[in-house]
């Protein structure tokens, strides 16, 4: 899988979104190489999947660092010599700090299982059910400082069904996540999508 455009993926658990990118790269649908998969959770199942595909993996245990900033700096220090072109947060459950955002400004994307800006943070599907919205979904966006925030690249909507619960809704949304995340990665690899602050994000930095 050697190619000039290098991707690093950060995960915290299962890694189905990571796997959708691995599969797309293997099928030749994304013309890039997966350089490394990083997790904040040494037990993440996705690390095993990445290893099975022959991809380098690295776990950073938050407990070994005195602060979140120090933890982020260790990851940045690890990534920098690898000359990564794109960092993909694919089910990475930690807020990325200011240093990390500025190190990969314009070159870091995240997937969140809601139609942003609705339902940021934890349990977005339960938030959608509690609110009673008719459409849920997922969003891929560039990462700026702020939780689940930044210019939106792509969204997919999923109708709520009468008998939905958190698990059934999450499963249907996940299928859409696994579809649009590799599509977005490919658009970036092909230079068809670039980071541009929306009016809302212009305002947020003034």
Is residue 112 annotated as a catalytic residue, yes or no?
A: yes
The DSSP bridge partners found for residue 110 are: 89, 141
Q: Least separation, in Å, of the C-beta of 48 and ligand GAR?
A: 12
Quick one: 150 or 202, whose CB is closer to ligand GAR? 150
The DSSP bridge partners found for residue 145 are: none
CA angle 127, 151, 115 (to 5 degrees): 25
Say if residues 193 and 187 touch (Cβ distance below 8 Å). Answer: yes
Q: Which stretch binds ligand GAR (CB under 6 A): 10-18, 53-61, 74-82, 196-204?
A: 10-18
Quick one: 80 or 135, whose CB is closer to ligand GAR? 135
56-115: contacts with ligand GAR (CB under 6 A): 90-91, 93, 111-113
When computed from its CA atoms, the radius of gyration of the chain, rounded to whole angstroms, is 17
Count the residues of the shown chain that bind ligand GAR, applying the rule CB under 6 A. 16
> Does residue 123 touch ligand GAR according to CB under 6 A?
no
Nearest residue relative to ligand GAR (C-beta)? 91
CA angle 189, 191, 192 (to 5 degrees): 110
Q: Least separation, in Å, of the C-beta of 171 and ligand GAR?
A: 10
Rounded Cα gap, residues 54 and 50, in angstroms? 7
- Residue 106, classified by CB atoms within 10 Å of its CB into exposed (0-12), middle (13-18) or buried (19+), is middle
Q: Least separation, in Å, of the C-beta of 139 and ligand GAR?
A: 9
At 2, is the secondary structure helix, strand, or coil? coil
Question: Of 112, 125, 141, 201, which one is the catalytic site residue?
Answer: 112
- Residues forming the active site: 112
**Which residues form the interface with ligand GAR (CB under 6 A)?**
11, 13-17, 46, 90-91, 93, 111-113, 148, 174, 177
């Amino acid at each position: 899988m050697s190619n000039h455009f290098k991707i690093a993926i950060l995960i915290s658990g299962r890694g189905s979104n990571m796997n959708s990118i691995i599969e797309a790269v293997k099928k030749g649908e994304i013309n890039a190489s997966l350089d490394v998969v990083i997790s904040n959770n040494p037990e993440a199942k996705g690390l095993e999947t990445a290893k099975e595909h022959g991809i380098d993996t690295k776990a950073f245990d938050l407990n070994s660092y005195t602060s979140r900033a120090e933890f982020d700096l260790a990851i940045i220090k690890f990534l920098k010599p690898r000359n990564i072109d794109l960092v993909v947060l694919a089910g990475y459950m930690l807020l990325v700090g200011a240093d990390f955002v500025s190190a990969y400004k314009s070159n870091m994307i995240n997937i969140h299982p809601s139609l942003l800006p609705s339902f940021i943070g934890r349990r977005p599907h339960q938030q959608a059910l509690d609110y009673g919205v008719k459409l849920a979904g997922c969003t891929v966006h560039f990462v700026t400082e702020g939780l689940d925030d930044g210019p939106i690249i792509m969204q997919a909507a999923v109708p709520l069904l009468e008998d939905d619960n958190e698990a059934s809704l999450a499963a249907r949304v996940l299928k859409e996540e696994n579809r649009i995340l590799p599509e977005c990665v490919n658009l970036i690899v092909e230079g068809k999508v670039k980071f541009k602050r929306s009016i809302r994000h212009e305002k947020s930095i003034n």
